[in-house]
Amino acid sequence: MIPNLPINVDAIDVRRDVEEELQFHVDMCARDYESQGLSREEAGVLAKRRLGDVNAVKRQCVQIQMRTRMRVKAVSVLCATIFVLGIVVKLSTDDYRVARTGTVLIMIALIGGLLAFVKTHSALHLVSDKKPLRLDLTQ
């Protein structure tokens, strides 16, 4: 028997990621307030107040992430189609000029796929802790 799966696993993943990210920001802000001498409870209240309407922020972040994921999936499908087309063109002819066109299509598809991968798995994170921005390559 197939278990009941959520209709949109991506949306659930995005919501969870956004909630974790927002909680991280609230915790970091609360830690800053605690370091200024406020109690843990006061720091937590001020940190949440500073963030504003958490539900509205969460909703906006989820919408942005879902649009980005849909675009990346569309680009990935397009790249896969161009890749297959390039292979078909390359293998279906003996004319080197047409075969070169197939090679160009394959390269375009690979570059597009690489860009889609980088978009979803951003390797460079900009980190700021009240210092100049620096690249963090550890994540």
User: Per residue in 87-110, pLDDT tens?
Assistant: 999 999 999 999 999 999 999 999
80 lies in a domain? yes
What is the domain extent for residue 27? 9-52
**What is the count of structural domains for the chain?**
2
- Better-scored residue on pLDDT, 132 or 43: 43
Q: Are residues 75 and 39 in the same domain?
A: no
In the chain, pLDDT over 70 holds for what percent of residues?
80
22 lies in a domain? yes
Q: Are residues 73 and 114 in the same domain?
A: yes
pLDDT for res 14: 83
* Contact between residue 30 and residue 23 where contact means Cβ atoms under 8 Å apart: no
* DSSP code, position 84: H
130 lies in a domain? no
* Contact between residue 90 and residue 102 where contact means Cβ atoms under 8 Å apart: yes
Place of tokens 């509205």: 56
Please give the backbone phi and psi of residue 38, each rounded to the nearest 5 degrees, phi first: -80, 155
